[in-house]
Amino acid sequence: MIEMMLYTALVLFGVSIAIALFRIIFGPSLPDRVVALDMIGVHLISAIAIISLILGTKSFLEVILILGVLAFIGTIVFSKYIERGVVIERKRDL
Amino acid sequence: MNVSVIFEFIAALMILVGSIISVISALGIIRFPDVYTRSHAAAKSSTLAVLLTLSGTFLYFWASESLISVRLILGILFVFITAPVACHLIIRAAYRSNVKMSNLTIEDELKDVLRDKEQ
């Protein structure tokens, strides 16, 4: 019963990642794509949590933390690139 | 029926509810008309889905192996803090780089403050 529920949840997360992939491919603007990319990162975290439950190991729990940090920093960098046009500003005139 | 079996069932139920909420959030991201409403679907319900799933994982490990995983608590707190912040920043960048709203938008209150100052 519990195995069946876990596999169903994994399949549903795969479906939602596939739908977000559709938005990345056909998104009309760049922030659409970044929103969908952030959503894929967040859903991948929970898919990895379910995989670590199914395999019965504790070794994937570091992956959750590091993937969360990387998805957050990637979204921050993309938002700065969209707003300013560069990622690292070299000259600043204050 | 043992107590740990009941807690494992509750944890699996939380994970299943989280996955259903994630599918609803994906439907929102494909059906809404412009980027501002899509961010509504992508930030709130997606965060709720991930929090339910990670809490279910934490409860499952606690019930089955009597393990309190500090890394999982850190992951829950980090996702809970950073996912709305990231979505707010990307929508702020989208508004400042003049992404068009949909035709159904009634009012834009930031327009008087922001657009007139630039001109």
Under an 8 A CB cutoff, do A65 and B97 touch? no
- Give the pLDDT mean for A48-65: 88
Under an 8 A CB cutoff, do B72 and A64 touch? yes
- Give the pLDDT mean for B54-70: 87
For chain B, say whether A24 makes contact (Cβ under 8 Å): no
Residue A51 has pLDDT above 60, yes or no: yes
Residue B111 has pLDDT above 80, yes or no: no
**Rounded distance between C-alpha atoms, residue B102 and residue B97, angstroms:** 15
Q: Which of B19, B47, B86 sits opposite A75 (nearest CB)?
A: B86
pLDDT of residue A15: 92
pLDDT of residue B117: 60
- Give the pLDDT mean for B50-69: 88
Most B CBs within 10 A among A19, A33, A46, A48, hence the mutation to make, goes to: A46
| Torsion, CA B22, CA B25, CA B31, CA B33, rounded to 10 | -150
Determine the distance in angstroms separating the CA of A82 from the nearest CA of chain B, rounded to an integer: 6
- Nearest in space to B12 (alpha carbons), one of B73, B58, B45, B46: B58
Q: What is the ipTM of this complex?
A: 0.85
Residue A11 has pLDDT above 90, yes or no: yes
pLDDT in tens, B19-51: 999 999 999 888 888 888 888 888 889 899 999
Residues of chain B contacting A52 with CB distance shorter than 8 Å? 57
Residue B118 has pLDDT above 70, yes or no: no
- Domain, as residue range, for B106: 3-118
Query: What rounded mean pLDDT belongs to chain A?
Result: 87
Rounded to whole angstroms, what are the CA distances from B98 to A30, A41, A55, B40, B76? 11, 26, 47, 18, 34
pLDDT of residue A93: 65
The pTM of this model reads: 0.86
pLDDT of residue B17: 92
Q: How many domains does chain B have?
A: 1
Residue B119 has pLDDT above 60, yes or no: no
Q: Under CATH, what is the fold of the domain A1-84?
A: Helix Hairpins (1.10.287)
Under an 8 A CB cutoff, do B75 and A45 touch? yes
pLDDT of residue B55: 92
User: What is the share, in percent, of chain B residues with pLDDT greater than 90?
Assistant: 21
Query: What rounded mean pLDDT belongs to chain B?
Result: 86
Under an 8 A CB cutoff, do A35 and B79 touch? no
| Torsion, CA A16, CA B77, CA B44, CA A40, rounded to 10 | -30
Q: Which of A10, A68, A80 sits opposite B79 (nearest CB)?
A: A68
Q: Where are the domains of chain A?
A: 1-84
pLDDT of residue B83: 87
**Rounded distance between C-alpha atoms, residue B77 and residue B55, angstroms:** 11
Task: Search chain B and give the residue with CA nearest A4.
Answer: B12
**Rounded distance between C-alpha atoms, residue B12 and residue B7, angstroms:** 9
